[in-house]
Structure 1
Amino acid sequence: MKILFFAFLFLINPLFLFSQTSSKIEYYKSRFFLYPSIGTDSAIIYVDKVFISKKPIDLAFAYVAKRHLLTITNENFNDEEYISKLHSLLANIYDDKNNYLDLSNIYNIAGNSYLFKQNNKEALNYFLPALKYAEKTDNIAQIIKVRNNIISVKGNIDLYNEALEEIGNNIALLEKNKNSLQAEYYHSQQVTNYVNSGIFNTEMYIKDKKNNTKYAELSFQNYQKALEISGKIKDFKKSNILYKIGILFNEKGKYDEARKYLMKSIILAKKTKNINDLLLSYFHSGVNFFETQQYNLSKKNFLKVDSIYKKDSLIREAYLDAAYYLAKIYNKQRNSDSASLYSDIYLKYKKEEFEKSKKEFISITDSLKLNEIQKINEEKDKLGAGLKIVIVVCLLLLIFGIFYFVKYKKNKKTSEKRLNELLVKLQNNQPLKPIIETQLISNEQEEKILNSIKKLEDSLYFLKPELSQHTMAKKIGTNTTYLSKIINTHKKMSFNEYINDIRINYIITKLYEDKSFRKYTVQAIAETAGYKNSNSFHKIFKEKTGATPMQFIEKITNQD
């Protein structure tokens, strides 16, 4: 009897473990879709855990998800190898109803990677099977998600009528399933489809303004419907719809009306801290004033775009177009230096596009914009010198690639050593803060200032986001020159290096000692340290520790 009992346990125990593992894998897969909020570093950690599965469907998901995260973060990786692995795994997946949702997600993620790279043809090749599997699941949310991606592709290749037809199908599908959908989701998808309809109707109007006035009216009606429905959605950012209405009125030549909507969008985007909408609202306000020949006001708005882009590198196309307009404005105002500066910015990035795609560059060369900029900056007239430039550029890229690879390998070893030394210090409770060189104190005034600096450190004054050399000097009761001299002498570093050093040391210690703090997002950790920009924090943290914040958290968590 005992033998039978233990035999039964032997059979059921693997089944129980399999169930637990399968549940964990599904959880890890679900975390991938949260990468916009939890960050790509965290998402990659979860996706890497999916690779422990032996099931082809899970491994296919892991490869396609990791490929997407590497793509959107512009990492260097072997894309062909990932695609080859994906297709090899897909060939071993049964066409079974239990796999349909996963298959739809896999093809949809692959399509989104190509969409990010602006390869519309390949994107569509993956979105179509994604839609086929979504329809087999009868999962309305999945069907609409994939259809929205197909709509984006058709819009990108100017198939506006087909895109509008797909939007109509989406709206009909939403209405048909209204009672089975959550109200928040139902209304948000209504807004998405009406906004997309507004965008494509605007594009149809722009194609032939004289004969396509009806599309302008349809566009405005769709935007108004989107605004009306958006009031039913909690925390919905209306600035996105408002600036699009501003674009429509700009195109219609109704500049005063456009200005009203663009100003509303700017106010709302500032209030909700929506940098993306704020940048685009300033850009289209700049276009508005340029078209009405109010060049100083136009310049003011385009300079805002320039400033926002340098702090948060979003929407390069709007930034480049702002540079194009600024070059024209400064040229009109006879400011040749500034005109040359912005024409250089514009041409520099267009050269990069040429290196990526000769076809793209030819279409830009034929456009009025590039011709005008080339005329402003005569020194750049030989931009399309031909094959020799391409060969030189390719050689330079090859040399740079070799140099970068060697440097990367060297830096990796240095980073690992730095991280291990740091962990040893933490384990041995050794101080991380810069030591004051007390033997170098030359007079009572310097000693007084150093004591004041120590008090500010103890009170965590360095965590204030508004901290600057000026505010700290004022707080201590000295001037910036003297403060800088004392820090250089006694801390052996510049003021900025000193502030970054104690901020990162604080975060390192807090992460090491406080496990709950490790659950924060990188943005939240950056803000705790006094950084407004998480990218700056990410870079400084890695320079000091040899690891990204998420890598450091994973390392110390594994040691617990």
Structure 2
Amino acid sequence: MQMLKIKLLLLLSVVCNLLYAQTGNVENIQKSVLKEYTYQELEKKFYETKPEDVKSKRDIAKYYLQKAKEEKDEVQIAEAYVMLHVDESLPNALKYLDSLQTITKNSKEIYYPARTYLLRGNLYFKSDNLQAALNNYVLGLKYAKEKGYKRQIAMAEISIAYLKNYIGKHAETAKTLRYYLYNADYMNESEHTILKLNLADAYIEINKMDSAYILIQDGLLAAKKSKNVYAYHQNLGLLGYYNLKLKKYNVAIENLQKCKNFFFTASYPSKRNQNYTLLNLGKAYAGLQESDKAIENFAKIDSMVLKTNYVFPELREVYTYLIDYYKEKKDKEKQLYYVERFLDVDKVLDTRFRYISRELPRRYDTPNLLQEKESITKELKQRKIFLYIVLGALLIVLLLFINFYFKYKNAEKKYRKIAQDLIQSVNENKKQPEVEIQKEEVVPDIVLPQNIENTEDKATKTISEDITQSILKELDAFENKEQFLNRGITLGTLAKKVKTNSKYLSEVINTHKGKNFAAYLNDLRIDYAISRLARDRRFRSYKIPFIAEELGYNNEQAFTLAFKKRTGTPLSIYLKEIEKTVSAANDNPEVL
């Protein structure tokens, strides 16, 4: 209900913390007593004092100001002006806030100058000057955003949301309140409680009744737990409005009658709470067709409006009902009276509505949309840059992949050609001659003499010709008997086999075979594998580890690496090419 929105808005002010407690009472406080308190203690005592104990509150605030001026503490002087403006008449309160603005003109505090504008906005809202309230809230929001003070931004946004609610933009109000209820961890428990109450009211306006009911029940339970009678009746009044919207008129009347008894006898009455309680109570009686009781409540609202000049949008419903009632009763005098009252109130409401309807979009919605547009544009630009980076990276990866693919294909083509040449060489020579090996890379680990003649001369000097020929003969037997396939062969074991020493054997192999012992042994084994794999279908059907073991290798990896090193093509491609050749030969015997 509107009464709650406006009342609670005042309580939500970020810096003045106008959350009036229902306990605590300060009688006429003497300066001698106040001297015993610090600034913090004085401020706490001020806000804990009941609102109706105006004199005590004013005494505290005046002493606070006196103490701050004597100590020339501008920060505390500012706080004194904030306290002094509370519960003052509008002209006096505005003067104190003007003083606040002057003293904080050069303040480095993050909450100035936004604080002054928000407090001034609350004053105007309280006095029903919504135009001035809007202007100050917008300015407060502007300065709060400049300083980046989230708490003040939230309060300004919430205050403006209530103005939106005033002109019927209930969904937008609910959106703002819901956001700050669940995303403002810098608000205290009391402020969250107030937000829940106002959000529940907004939910009722947009017919989200289940959501509203949950929040109302939470509010009632919290008020009972804290023994906050005022907050309890605020939630109870909202529950009455909830039942009114559901056309549970008897339940609504029960709720609202309790609120009426409380708000009209409270020590700190609120004209807003009183008016809206009477309004909803009258509408509930009207729903039950109890016109006399409805008129009783509506007429009382009119008398209160005359005394306080407090008007609100729903007054149109009140005067329409009054006019129709007395028209039906054929009471021309009262009908005319309420027509005139309606015209007066409608003029005020229309002026307010048109101003708020015009200025809110111009001064708040449009700047927000422009800011949102700028934010979205910036985000899209960043996304576009990120997209370009990603696309660039993907392009580089694609190019690398393509490059790798073609290199792989070229290498595969080269490997297949080497394999085909090896197979052809084996098929052309059935007696397994020395196969001309294709090299992909430089033959590793082979130390070729720069001058064969000089090397041979040196070897001859070291080893006699007879010994050399004897060793070569033994090596021929070693090769012909395929003893190189035995596992665990070393230079030492082979030297014993050929009846010489390791040094002689190594020199002969290096000189006459053109390679070291390890290369000599590997080449014999791989040359054997090349020939046998091409000719022996059963042998190549074995698993690679078994073939490696048959060739004298300790493991599969040693064999495959040695094969690639010797031939220049991987073992897998060589085997595939053999199968292709055999398959082609079976289809066409003339191929071989």
Bigger radius of gyration among the two: 2
TM over 0.5: no
TM-score range, shorter chain: 0.3 to 0.5
The structure showing larger relative contact order (alpha-carbon pairs under 8 Å, at least 6 residues apart) is 2
TM, length-normalised to structure 1:
0.44
TM, length-normalised to structure 2:
0.42
